[in-house]
Amino acid sequence: MLEFRTAGFNPYSVKYSPFFDSRLAVSAGANFGLVGNGRLFILNLTAEGIVCEKFFETQDCLFDLTWSEQHENQLLTAGGDGSIKLFDIGVGEFPVAGWQEHGREVFSVHWNLVNKNTFLSSSWDGTVKIWAPERKESLVTLPVHSCVYSAEFSPHHPDIVTCVSRDSHLRVFDLRQKPSAQNHLTLAIPIHAPLKIPIPDNVTGGVQPSECLTHDWNKYRDSVLATAGVDGTIRTFDLRAPSGPVNVLPGHEYAVRRVSWSPHLSDTLLSASYDMSCRVWTDGSTQDNGGSGVGFGRELGRMDAHTEFAMGVDWCMFGAEGWCSTCAWDEKVLVWDVRDFMRR
């Protein structure tokens, strides 16, 4: 396990570069993001451990970041002051571009993985905005009317956007549709809905709505997503059955801050939680029951090295399938192999 200390700053998000297997970026804020400056760290994995290649200072906490899919040296940050900034590692100490439209904290940014000319941002002002890096103003604003904690493009389709928000709903937007009164909204799935197929030894009916903090698209099954939030439960959804969750993965004691599907295994999830643990899960879809995605999900292992709330996780796309990076408010960024933490 490799470790890097973001001294004086509490990390919120960590992301592997999609271009280099040894490059990481971490967005962080002083004073746990409540007040004070933010900092964007560019880290390199070297033979001597993790080395900070460069960092950028910002006025306010950076809640999220995403690497550009167009340029290997560029990355976007989501600022607590409502700004989105594009940094270039090769250029100076200031952002090369910035966008300011959101009225409140921007809480997530995500680059379109298919049509690499657009990216999105979601904010506590209750909107998701679609942007193009060469335009000053946003292309589209998707109103959600609730604090949007997380928004993503589908990795399978350039025009599908999903988001999860405070109101306990998973929304799906199709940008190909005409902008009618629906504002591209095609689906709004209640996350707290009971399971369609009840799983024995698991009470899932009648759950109260709770804020949903994070979600992620499965990288292999193009209709499957996972969400997680304040109730500490990870749920998987299949957009082909949009009435409620397909699978429920309880286990975290407190809210789950981030989930991420493995880029190598279609059934494996990694999560970070306010209970200070990071856990590996399977949703059971590749097991003996036919791989329908309705298997019995379970926790595969947990990593307890963080000593404050765990905030960010990301899988390494390169090399062996188990490497990942996590960060937490203990000012630590850890790079580790989940296979070391599997239950034997």
Partner 1 sequence: MADAACGPSNSLQQFKQQTQLDRTLQQDRVTSRSRPGQGFRSADPNAGLLDPEFEAFQAGLPPPDFQTFQPHHPGPPRFQQAFPEPAQGSSSWASDFQRMSLASPPPMQQQHPVGPSSSNWAQDFRSNIAQSAPRAQNSSPSPFAFQQGARLGMNGYQSNFAQPAYSPSMQSKGKEPVMEQFDEAAFERAFDMAKEDMMADVAPVSAVDDAQMNQEVESMSAAKAEESHQLNQQDVEQSLSDLHHPLDSNEHALPEGMIREEHKEPGQNTRNEDDALAATAQELLEKVENNQTDKFRNSQFLGLMRRLRDREVKVEGDKMVETTASTSTSTTDHPLNTTATSTPRFNNSEQIPRHEQDHDPNRHQRPIDDGADVVNLLSQPGLPGGEPSTPPSLAPDPSPSNLDLTEDMERRRLGDLWRSMLPSSSAESPRGLDPRAHSVGAEQSGFASPAFTA
The yes or no reply on residue 101 touching partner 1 (CB under 8 A) is yes
The yes or no reply on residue 81 touching partner 1 (CB under 8 A) is yes
DSSP tally for the chain: helices H, then strands E: 0, 28
Question: What 8-state DSSP symbol labels residue 112?
Answer: -
Q: Sketch the per residue contact string, 243 through 282, with partner 1: x for CB under 8 A, - otherwise.
A: -------xxxxxx-x-------x-xx-----x-x-----x
Q: Which range in 18-26, 78-86, 114-122, 155-163 contacts partner 1 by CB under 8 A?
A: 78-86
Q: Out of 46, 289, 292, 307, which residue is the one contacting partner 1 (CB under 8 A)?
A: 307
Listing DSSP states for 263-304 in one string gives SS-TTEEEEEETTS-EEEEE-STTSTTTSSS-S--EEEEEE-
The yes or no reply on residue 283 touching partner 1 (CB under 8 A) is no
Instruction: Break the chain down into helix, strand, coil percent, rounded to 5.
Output: 0, 50, 50
Q: Which range in 18-26, 122-130, 157-165, 237-245 contacts partner 1 by CB under 8 A?
A: 122-130
Q: Out of 9, 41, 153, 323, which residue is the one contacting partner 1 (CB under 8 A)?
A: 9
The yes or no reply on residue 25 touching partner 1 (CB under 8 A) is no
Q: Sketch the per residue contact string, 168 through 187, with partner 1: x for CB under 8 A, - otherwise.
A: ----------xx--------
C-alpha–C-alpha distance, residues 239 and 262, integer Å: 19
Closest approach of partner 1 to the CB of residue 55, in Å: 9
Contact assessment for residue 165 and residue 184, using Cβ atoms and an 8 Å cutoff: no
DSSP helix/strand/coil, 341? helix
Q: Sketch the per residue contact string, 131 through 170, with partner 1: x for CB under 8 A, - otherwise.
A: --xxxxxxxxx-----x-x----------------x----
Query: Sheet of 23-29: strands edge to edge?
Result: 10-16, 23-29, 38-46, 49-58
Contact assessment for residue 87 and residue 56, using Cβ atoms and an 8 Å cutoff: yes
Closest approach of partner 1 to the CB of residue 319, in Å: 15
The yes or no reply on residue 53 touching partner 1 (CB under 8 A) is no
The yes or no reply on residue 321 touching partner 1 (CB under 8 A) is yes
CA 67 to chain centre: 12
